Amino acid sequence: MFKYELIKKDTKSKARLGKITTPHGEIETPIFMPVGTQATVKSMTPEELKEIKAQIILSNTYHLYLRPGHELVKEAGGLHKFMNWDKPILTDCGGFQIFSLGPLRKIEEDGVTFKSHLDGSSHFISPEFDMEIQNALGADIIMAFDECAPYPCDYDYAKASTELTTRWARRCKDAHKNTENQALFGIVQGNMYKDLREKSAKDLIDMDFPGYAIGGLSVGEPSELMYEMLDFTVPLLPENKPRYNMGVGSPDYLIESVYYGIDMCDCVLPTRIARNGTALTSSGKVVVRNAEYAHDFTVLDPECDCYTCRNYTKAYIRHLVKAGEILGARLLTIHNLRFLIHLMENIRESIKNDTFMEFRQEFYRKYYKKDIS
């Protein structure tokens, strides 16, 4: 029930056009996936997500396990039914969130012991239990339980961590109970060490996952280093499987991910900065909460087709943000997500038309006011 079809490869970059088929519908790639950490893309309804052309959303194993609990979601008929979203869902394995707990977690061969960020209660997640949780949630794409090493990280730690992730990936594959309806992706780790990335990719490919993610990037390293790792790692992955760069969401990271051959990206950035009063627009970031927009009766982005840009002025949105009104967060969330989804639509179109490199150059000039080599 899960399939990746490579439709076209760009001739001047590693960008590629594809289509993923899941039990809840098709996904055109490359794609940006909005994040709905707690079984809701913050502030939005499923209908609004469809209106901005979201094809797939993310949710989070760690968060849903803690609240409301995977058993409850299963009882509700699975995550799709629970949250009233009938299109594809991907659940992250929770490795990154547990890694982010810092001193509140202890990593051992068998799994991770950690304290809940909600109430300090103790929990243990093994690769097997992670699969049990993700099987209960029932997302179309699920992720193998991994350790996401920090940056910077010494070689020995990175090596041990990567090898642990590989052993866990095997255990996940063995424990995964619903292979028919849920595609399990392996996560390539290796920190910023090419030999570790190579070994990780090779070992995971030997296990033959239906898709591969690149984890442990965008964790604080310079963007040049991330690009270098993408440039090295992506070509190691099989061409006939989708490739997912985890946790990137700024326009440049999306474009460069595609440039290096990535098919899927996700990030909380567009929704998080929306709630802080910042918009992504075709001419760059607009901090609409700033005083300069108080009397600006134009829309956020005249090139945008979203509900917000069809109906509201910067002055009104700024008022809502300053007044702490929920509608402000809503309008900016709609716009920011639509902006990134629209960006990916334009990227797909440019690959189709053999103009991806020109599109990329043009975008950098307009958004970042600079050229890209």
The contact set with a copy of itself (CB under 8 A) reads 38-40, 42-45, 67-68, 72, 75-76, 82-84, 294-295, 297, 307, 311-313, 315-316, 318-320, 322-323, 325-327, 329-330
Q: Least Å distance between CB 48 and a copy of itself?
A: 10
Q: Given the complex with a copy of itself, which of 82 and 212 has the nearer CB atom?
A: 82
Q: How far is the CB of 342 from a copy of itself (least distance, A)?
A: 20
**Shortest distance, CB of residue 319 to a copy of itself, whole angstroms?**
4
> Between residues 68 and 238, which has the closer beta carbon with respect to a copy of itself?
68
Cβ proximity to a copy of itself, 23 vs 68, nearer residue: 68
Q: Which residue numbers are catalytic?
A: 92, 266
DSSP 169-193: HHHHHHH---TTT-EEEEEE--TT-
Angle at 46 between CA 42 and CA 48, to 5 degrees: 85
DSSP per position, 230-275? HHHHGGGS-TTS-EEETT--SHHHHHHHHHTT--EEE-SHHHHHHH
Helix boundaries (H) for the chain? 46-51, 61-66, 70-75, 79-83, 95-99, 127-137, 155-175, 194-207, 223-233, 251-259, 269-275, 307-311, 314-322, 326-352, 356-363
Angle 145-34-183 from CA coordinates, rounded to 5°: 40
CA distance 343 to 213: 21
* Nearest-approach distance from CB 131 to a copy of itself, in angstroms: 23
Contact 90, 23 (CB under 8 A): no
Name which of 72 and 225 has its Cβ closer to a copy of itself: 72
CB of 275 to a copy of itself, least distance (A): 9
CA distance 87 to 350: 25
- Residue number, 36 or 88, with CB nearest to a copy of itself: 36
